[in-house]
Structure 1
Amino acid sequence: MNTLCYEVKSEIFKYIKNPISLALVNRTWYTVFRDPHVRSEWFLSKYGRAHALFHAIRLGRNFLTLDVIKCLIAKKAIVSRYFVQRLLSQCGNEILFELGNTLNIKHEDDEDIKKLNFSQKNHWGYDLSVNVLKYILEEAIKLYGTEIYMNGNDFELLHFLTASFLSSERIRDNMEQIKDLILNNKFIPFPPSTNSSKHEHPRSDGYENIHQLNILAHVIVLYPDLVKLWKQIGYHEICKDTNCLVIRGVYSLSFPHNTDPHNRVRPDENAIFERLKTFIDLGFKLDYKAMRAVIYLFRDRISEVDQIVFKSFSLFCDDKSLVRFIFMRYCSKFRFKDGVVRSS
């Protein structure tokens, strides 16, 4: 019975929003909280295999122990090369200096590394214990060799492989390298933050910078089949993480801003439906946030596109009252032009 009770409590623990508060209830729950297998299951259940390690590092050494990280990796939490690159670039200098001789990590100036950079306190990865970092690096070296110490990171490499005035052609030309980046090096961007007001790069809290996510979304809009590669390696959150940016990108390409308005060919709602359906079938959603993002995209020229956008929303959204509500709430802010109110 005691074993059964513990197993039930372990299962309950996986779905608790704040496990630390539960650990303070009594000694039994505290024992469950201390179990590294239970903690690792909590991370995987809450954040998925793709982002479990990111959030484990974010919660710090009081939550992430060596046994927990061992359990996470044993349970197939994804150790991407990008994750390790970011970890090495953002964890505290004290940790890197202590680890340097052990793993033969080279630094340009050891004297600078010896100095504690107090401005990094509370940054993502700053208070990681040395034994946890050492274990992560050892596992990463088994997977990727010493390439984890390369200059730059895999997000910058993706940008290099896809950035061009003729991005679609560049993506096709570099497709084998992009596939290698995703399938073999497990490139997975860090999750987006709910606080998009920070524009620092890299963000001190570890979350992916909005500029980086825009680069990723642009690549997906141009080559949506890449989503299948990310899902193939276990990154099933790709649609959720980039949903608004991708949906907005589809509409942005449908109504380019820098073309001659007299020679511009406007798609109708059916053409947009066909374009958008490709992404909806992959798992993207035309939800409230996405529709709002599209309207804000066209805030300076809403009177030019509002009818087509409204009709395209209606083709996908069964709740027509929601579509009308969004247009009434947000479009009314942008319909004033030259002192004239333009109706939809």
Structure 2
Amino acid sequence: MDSTSINTILLYNTEIQKSALSGIGHKASRSEIVNEIMINKLNQETLTLSKLPDKIKINIFKYVRFPMNLLLTSDLWYQLSKQNVVRAKWLIYHFGKGHALFYAIHFGPNFINVPVVQKIIEFGGIVSRYFVQRFLLSFGAYDPKLIQKKIEHNVGNIDIEQIRKVQQKHATPWASDTPLDVFT
């Protein structure tokens, strides 16, 4: 038995003795008393979570692989997830220093902003030449009119149907919706 189980049993026995001494024991069943004790214990645990230092909460958050379930549990975790430091640490822990910026852009404009990029670089994130090349190639949206003009005036050996298939398959490039301030 661990110490938590022993403490729960001791608390249970103490509560039963108190209720028996006060005359409530004969009115409430044993299971009702146990339920009330467990509810009080759960409420106490919830309160202690909010009293944890931010550093510990950030470390807990960092180790969660899919944080969406955690975000939905309480407003405390949701507010913590909006912090730039937390986002940067989570990315670096799960994807490494070399791929943190790739995934930050992959998660889209709701996730990435200038302070997140600054924190990733501050925590040792790597801005590789390959990343910059891919980002420059993919930044911006496709212009359908420009593509149509290229198809109409194409004299080379490029298959028009193949261009249209690629265009439909990749409706938006990888970094096309990245905010301009992150790009610069």
Q: 1:58 aligns with which of 102, 106, 110?
A: 106
User: How many residue pairs get matched?
Assistant: 117
Distance in 2 separating the partners of 1:22 and 1:11 = 13
Q: In the alignment, is residue 18 of structure 1 matched against residue 62 of structure 2?
A: no
Distance of aligned partners of 1:25 and 1:121 in 2 relative to their CA distance in 1, 3 Å threshold? farther
- For 1:93, what is the secondary structure of its paired residue? coil
Aligned mate of 2:182, from 132, 135, 141: 132
**Alignment check: 8 A CA contact 1:22 1:29 kept:** yes
Q: Is the 8 A contact 1:90 1:126 kept in 2?
A: yes
Secondary structure of the residue aligned to 2:86 is: helix
Partner of 1:49: 97
Q: Report SS of the residue matched to 2:53.
A: helix
Map 1:208-219 to 2 at 5 A: none
Change (3 A) 1:3 1:82: farther
Shift of 1:17: 1.3
Contact kept, 8 Å, 1:65 with 1:132, in 2: the verdict is yes
Q: How does 1:247-326 map to 2 (within 5 A)?
A: none
> Which residue does 2:35 correspond to in 1?
none
Contact 2:85 2:119 in 1 (8 A): yes
Of 120, 123, 148 in structure 2, the residue corresponding to residue 72 of structure 1 is: 120
Paired residues of 2:88 and 2:116 also in contact (CA < 8 A): yes
How far apart are the structure 2 equivalents of 1:64 and 1:88? 17
| Whole-angstrom CA distance in 1 between matches of 2:125 and 2:85 | 13
Q: What pairs up with 1:1-344 in 2 under 5 angstroms?
A: 4-93=52-141, 112=146, 119=168, 120-134=170-184
Contact map agreement 2:141 2:177 (CA 8 A) in 1: no
Q: State the 1:52 CA deviation.
A: 0.8
In 2: Cα distance, 1:123 partner to 1:30 partner: 29
Deviations 1:43-69 (A, max 9, x none): 010011111111111111111122111
Q: CA deviation at 1:112?
A: 3.8
Structure 1 residue 128 displacement after superposition: 0.9
Deviations 1:56-99 (A, max 9, x none): 111111111221111111112000121111111112337xx9xx
Q: Provide the secondary structure at the position in 1 that maps to 2:131.
A: helix
Structure 1: segments with no counterpart, 5+ residues: 98-110, 135-344
Distance 1:22 1:122 in 2: 30
Cα distance in 2 for partners of 1:40, 1:34 equals: 11
Instruction: Tell me, in whole angstroms, the C-alpha distance in 2 between the residues paired with 1:25 and 1:65.
Output: 25
Q: Pick closer, same or farther for the CA change 1:3–1:129 going to 2, 3 Å.
A: farther
Instruction: Judge conservation of contact 1:20–1:33 (CA < 8 Å) in 2.
Output: no
Q: Residue 58 of structure 1 contacts residue 125 of structure 1 at CA under 8 Å; is this kept in 2? A: yes
Bigger helix share:
2
For residues 95-115 of structure 1, give each alpha carbon's deviation from its aligned partner in whole angstroms, at most 9, with x where no partner exists. Answer: xx9xxxxxxxxxxxxx949x9
CA distance in 2, matches of 1:19, 1:123: 26
What is the TM-score when the length of structure 1 is the normalising length?
0.31
Root-mean-square deviation (Å): 2.8
Deviations 1:176-225 (A, max 9, x none): xxxxxxxxxxxxxxxxxxxxxxxxxxxxxxxxxxxxxxxxxxxxxxxxxx
Q: Deviations over 1:283-306 (max 9, x none)?
A: xxxxxxxxxxxxxxxxxxxxxxxx
Cα separation, partners in 2 of 1:61 and 1:4, compared to 1, 3 Å: same
| Letter aligned with residue 47 of structure 1 | F
| Matched-pair contact (CA < 8 Å) for 2:95–2:103 | yes
Q: Which amino acid aligns with 1:125?
A: A
For normalisation by structure 2, the TM-score amounts to 0.55
- Residue 23 of structure 1: CA displacement? 1.6
Secondary structure (helix, strand or coil) at the match of 1:18 reads coil
Shift of 1:123: 3.3
